[in-house]
A and B are shown apart, each in its own frame.
Chain A
Amino acid sequence: MRSLLRQQLPEVLQGVVPLAAVAIVLQVLFVRAPADVFLRFLGGSVLAVVGLVLLFAGVELGVLPMGRYVGAALPRARSLALAVGVVFAFGFATTVAEPDVLVLAGEVAAMPDSPFSAPVLVATMGLGVGVFTAIALLRVVRGVSMVLLLAAAYGLMIVLAFATSADFVPLAFDAGSVTTGVLTAPVVLALARGFTSVLGERDAVTDSFGFLGLASTGPILVVLLLGLVA
């Protein structure tokens, strides 16, 4: 375990040091933040480095294997309904628990002409993510072209963006980023990777990616639709 942690440190430093260095240069050149804000930034950076070392070690040790086990078990279960159900559950459960989703739902519910309450919105966004994760899985099983699916999703998004109430547009596009919690992203990526790894001789790269991205178009479309109804 100690070697696993030590292995992560160089990569974490490589990731965080440029940001901290730029921040320090800016502070010296023109920002001149109050001393306590700057010291908190430095302290926060140290905490972030320690946290990332643990996070990456944990992702490597447990989270990626877990996603892979679950993903690989889906085609073996020989029941498409079960596979669809499981990815839907993953999408739905991780979304309704995501703190950012709760914040966003609160914002939409607070819009002047919004007839929706926050819990209804959270559930709807969870449905959006769950349904689109399931669509991503069906795409791989049925071999539907990604181009076709993306063209449909983006086309619908653009049409709705013009049709819907203007206030909902920025919120909708913000909603797209909520499915990407730091833990959800590796789990979904590994789940997709595990699922496609047992499918046989198909192209692993084409099939393994797109789950997370399609999942995040779900809530965009849902919030745009809500704006249309409102």
Chain B
Amino acid sequence: MTWSELLQEIASTAISVGLAVGPLALLFLVFQVFVLRLPVPEVARVLTGGLLATAGLFLFLLGVGIGFLPFGQVVGESVTELPQTWMVIPLGALLGFVTSWGEPSVRVLAGQVEDASAGSIRSSLVLWTVCGGVAVAVSVGMARIEHGTNLLWLVVPGYLLVMVMMAFADRRFLGIAIDAGGVATGPLANTFLLALALGAASALDPGDPLVSGLGLVALIALAPVLSVTVLGVVVRVMERKGASLR
């Protein structure tokens, strides 16, 4: 990576962060002036926090851009070095798990669930369920790339399954489930795992790497919805049996 490439990366990251933060800050200020009218120290706290978060987001995305993206691609391309092709499946599961384990929004969601449920649903339970879901999604995604399966044949039965399971799940988990699908597709998944899928697709599949590589994000968005809904079913069954989850 040359200096000019690094500078370009820094500039494009700064622009994306600015674009993401700008409207939020503007909306808050408009709301503050017309509706909220919070005392000055509170506004100062919110703005300081916002500034810290912005700086943090910039550094995080820069690190992901210069480091995770190229390495993910190399990992994906080297799957052909594996002694057996089936090994892409456990490899995908492992990488899927550790990636969503590090995904910031997944942790925020888990914390909010513990907060909203006054501690009765532990944040670690949500974290493990989401990461488990993503692990399955990535291993299925890697198998799909290897076999060239049509995305519809995985996504449609997946959503149908969610619809069926919803009827049997504890209602409290449904909102969490669909939110989990949203947070799992964060910046790490969108760079590291996507690069991995594109690399694997170009190494394994003679077809269009874009078509076979891109579907992974759809699977990552679906799997935690399914796994948290399953958790909702388990919780309901356990509560019926009178056992406490804690």
User: Which residues of chain A have a CB within 8 Å of any CB of chain B?
Assistant: 11, 15-16, 18-19, 21-23, 26, 30-34, 36-38, 40-63, 65-66, 69-70, 73, 77, 86, 89-90, 93-94, 96-100, 145-147, 150-151, 154-155, 157-158, 161-162, 169-170, 173-174, 176-177, 179-187, 189-190, 193, 196, 203-217
- Give complex CA distance A181, B216 in Å: 18
Q: Specify the chain B residue showing the minimal Cβ separation from A43.
A: B67
Q: Specify the chain A residue showing the minimal Cβ separation from B67.
A: A44
Give the A-B pair count, Cβ closer than 8 A.
Answer: 336
Within the complex, the shortest CB–CB distance from B199 to chain A, in Å, comes to 10
B109 touches A189 (CB 8 A): yes
16 A-B pairs in the complex with CB atoms less than 8 angstroms apart: A23-B75, A36-B1, A37-B74, A52-B104, A53-B56, A58-B56, A94-B23, A158-B156, A170-B218, A177-B182, A177-B220, A185-B183, A193-B116, A204-B116, A209-B113, A212-B183
Q: Specify the chain A residue showing the minimal Cβ separation from B58.
A: A51
Within the complex, the shortest CB–CB distance from B34 to chain A, in Å, comes to 10
- Give complex CA distance A76, B99 in Å: 40
Question: Which of B78, B104, B159, B190 has a CB less than 8 Å from the CB of A31?
Answer: B78
Within the complex, the shortest CB–CB distance from B47 to chain A, in Å, comes to 7
B171 touches A47 (CB 8 A): no
Name the 8 nearest CB pairs between A and B, nearest first. A62-B49, A44-B67, A213-B178, A58-B53, A54-B56, A47-B63, A51-B60, A55-B56
Within the complex, the shortest CB–CB distance from A73 to chain B, in Å, comes to 5
B86 adjacent to chain A (CB < 8 Å): no
B54 touches A213 (CB 8 A): no
Within the complex, the shortest CB–CB distance from A139 to chain B, in Å, comes to 9
Q: In the complex, which residues of chain A have a beta carbon less than 8 angstroms from the beta carbon of B218?
A: 170, 173-174, 176-177
Within the complex, the shortest CB–CB distance from B57 to chain A, in Å, comes to 5
Q: Known contacts A177-B182, A203-B172, A206-B171; is A48 also within 8 Å of B67 by CB? A: yes
Q: In the complex, which residues of chain A have a beta carbon less than 8 angstroms from the beta carbon of B148?
A: none
Highest count of chain B CB atoms <10 Å: which of A42, A189, A193, A207: A189
Within the complex, the shortest CB–CB distance from A71 to chain B, in Å, comes to 11
Highest count of chain A CB atoms <10 Å: which of B26, B81, B112: B112
Highest count of chain A CB atoms <10 Å: which of B118, B162, B183: B183
- Give complex CA distance A209, B211 in Å: 32
Interface size class of B (residues with CB under 8 A): 35 or more
Within the complex, the shortest CB–CB distance from A4 to chain B, in Å, comes to 9
B57 touches A182 (CB 8 A): yes
Question: Which of A48, A55, A65, A173 has a CB less than 8 Å from the CB of B221?
Answer: A173
A58 touches B112 (CB 8 A): no
B31 touches A56 (CB 8 A): no
Question: Which of B27, B59, B68, B156 has a CB less than 8 Å from the CB of A41?
Answer: B68
- Give complex CA distance A210, B171 in Å: 11
Question: Which of B1, B22, B116 has a CB less than 8 Å from the CB of A40?
Answer: B1
Scan residues 214-246 of chain B and give those whose CB is less than 8 A from a CB of chain A. Answer: 214-215, 217-218, 220-221, 225
Q: In the complex, which residues of chain B have a beta carbon less than 8 angstroms from the beta carbon of A189?
A: 108-109, 112, 179
Q: Known contacts A33-B71, A173-B151; is A184 also within 8 Å of B20 by CB? A: yes
A93 touches B66 (CB 8 A): no
Question: Which of A21, A56, A209 has a CB less than 8 Å from the CB of B104?
Answer: A56
Q: In the complex, which residues of chain B have a beta carbon less than 8 angstroms from the beta carbon of A77?
A: 35
Q: In the complex, which residues of chain B have a beta carbon less than 8 angstroms from the beta carbon of A211?
A: 175, 179
B21 adjacent to chain A (CB < 8 Å): yes
- Give complex CA distance A53, B53 in Å: 9
- Give complex CA distance A62, B29 in Å: 13
Q: Specify the chain A residue showing the minimal Cβ separation from B188.
A: A19
Highest count of chain B CB atoms <10 Å: which of A47, A86, A217: A47
